[in-house]
Amino acid sequence: MKPLLIPFYLVFQLWALPLAAQQHQETFLWNTEQGWFGERILLPPGFAPTMTWKGLEEIRFAPGMFKADQPDFFSYALAFSLEPDADISQKALDKQILTYYQGLSFNVSKGRGRQVDISKFKVTSKPVEEKESTAPKQAKDPKVYKTILNWTEPFATGKPQKLNIDVHAWKDTARKRTYVFFLATPTAEDSEIYKKLVKIRKNFVIK
């Protein structure tokens, strides 16, 4: 699958694939339909340098990711590959998520001539037990959280958005890595795009 070049990439040109690929050789296999696209960047990213997680991020965007009138608007799957000692406690996850999205919204908004009060962003999460596991197949005893981010979506609308984020986080002692997998969408769990994201997560493979 070849990523599409859209304005999003222009914002993050300096932080994207070539350097990340050189820093850590790891392949993620995504089972996505035609029209999905993505990128790989280093962590911490240039738009959120105060994040304490170090590693890389790979993401897959739904076709309507940046189109506010589409049912899969701002919906995506994201995988973090982190150092083995990365803190993935609930408190740490909430802090990293907030820092990431504050930086993203602030920098994209600034680039588009808009101001945003990132101090008003809020992350709330709760641990959940899955009756039937939908975690990536390689995730061993993952921590699972339902997270809600209230923030300002900066790409298409510049308006407040409630983003639902499913989090699976786990340690892989054999690989000596820590992994965090996100599903993010403003839609409800009975939506078609949420169901597609869950399927993508279940079929996600690390090589």
C-alpha span between 44 and 57 (Å, rounded): 9
Tell me the pLDDT of the chain averaged across its residues: 91
pLDDT at 19: 43
Residue 14 lies in a domain: yes
Q: Which amino acid is at 79?
A: A
What's the per-residue H, E or C state across the chain?
A: CCCCCCHHHHHCHHHCHHHHHHHCCCCEECCCCCCCEEEEEEECCCCCCCCCCCEEEEEEECCCCCCCCCCCCCCEEEEEEECCCCCCCHHHHHHHHHHHHHHHHHHHHHHCCCCCCHHHCEEEEEECCCCCCCCCCCCCCCEEEEEEEEEEECCCCCEEEEEEEEEEEEEECCCCEEEEEEEEECCCCCCHHHHHHHHHHHCCEEC
Residue 19 lies in a domain: yes
Domain that holds residue 170: 7-206
Residue 161 lies in a domain: yes
pLDDT in tens, 64-102: 999 999 999 999 999 999 999 999 999 999 999 999 999
Task: Identify the residue with better confidence: 10 or 75.
Answer: 75
Check: CB of residue 42 under 8 Å from CB of residue 69.
Answer: no
Residue 181 lies in a domain: yes
Nearest to 89 by CA among 127, 59, 124, 58: 127
Share above pLDDT 90 across residues of the chain, in percent, rounded to a whole number: 86
- The model's confidence at residue 24, banded by pLDDT at 50, 70 and 90, is low
Nearest to 107 by CA among 155, 141, 41: 155
Residue 22 lies in a domain: yes
Non-local CB neighbours of 164 within 8 Å, separated by 6+ positions: 146, 147, 148, 184, 185, 186, 187, 188, 189
- Work out how many domains the chain is built from and give that number: 1
Residue 177 lies in a domain: yes
* Total-model pTM: 0.89
pLDDT at 79: 98
Residue 1 lies in a domain: no
Residue 2 lies in a domain: no
pLDDT in tens, 107-148: 999 999 999 999 999 999 999 998 788 999 999 999 999 999
